[in-house]
Amino acid sequence: MRKTETAVRRCKTMSTLQKILGGKWKLEILYYIAFCDIRRFGALRRQLGEITESSLTKQLRELESDGFLIRHDFQEVPPHVEYTLSELGRSFTDVLVYMKAWGERNLPDGN
């Protein structure tokens, strides 16, 4: 099979989703904002544990750029920034619920 034939059969939708949500922390970030009422940078960082500040910043910026999050800057000192789901992000919550339920049923440490 030629390389161009493989590229034609590739699913564009799944490829785009992988590109957007393929970051190591993105699904967890969306989950915590959607279901755990964690909206501030520091709270997200504490919840995720092993993530670096720069990595969390990058992931949040990408999710905002891709339309999943809205960043609210309260223009205060010290900085007060919160993240909420956009309409696109809210439309993705059913997928997160399904993925979590699937993981709990099928993965060894799925709780």
The CA-based dihedral angle spanning residues 85, 92, 87, 79, taken in that order and rounded to the nearest 10 degrees = 10
Share of the chain above pLDDT 90, in %: 71
Kindly tell me if the per-residue pLDDT of 110 is higher than 70.
no
Cβ neighbours around 63 below 10 Å, total: 26
Domains present along the chain, CATH in parentheses? 24-106 (1.10.10.10)
Task: Say whether pLDDT at 13 is over 60.
Answer: yes
pTM: 0.85
Q: Is the pLDDT of residue 15 over 60?
A: yes
Distance from C-alpha of 7 to C-alpha of 21, rounded to nearest angstrom: 21
From the CB of residue 3, how many other CB atoms can be counted at a distance below 10 Å? 7
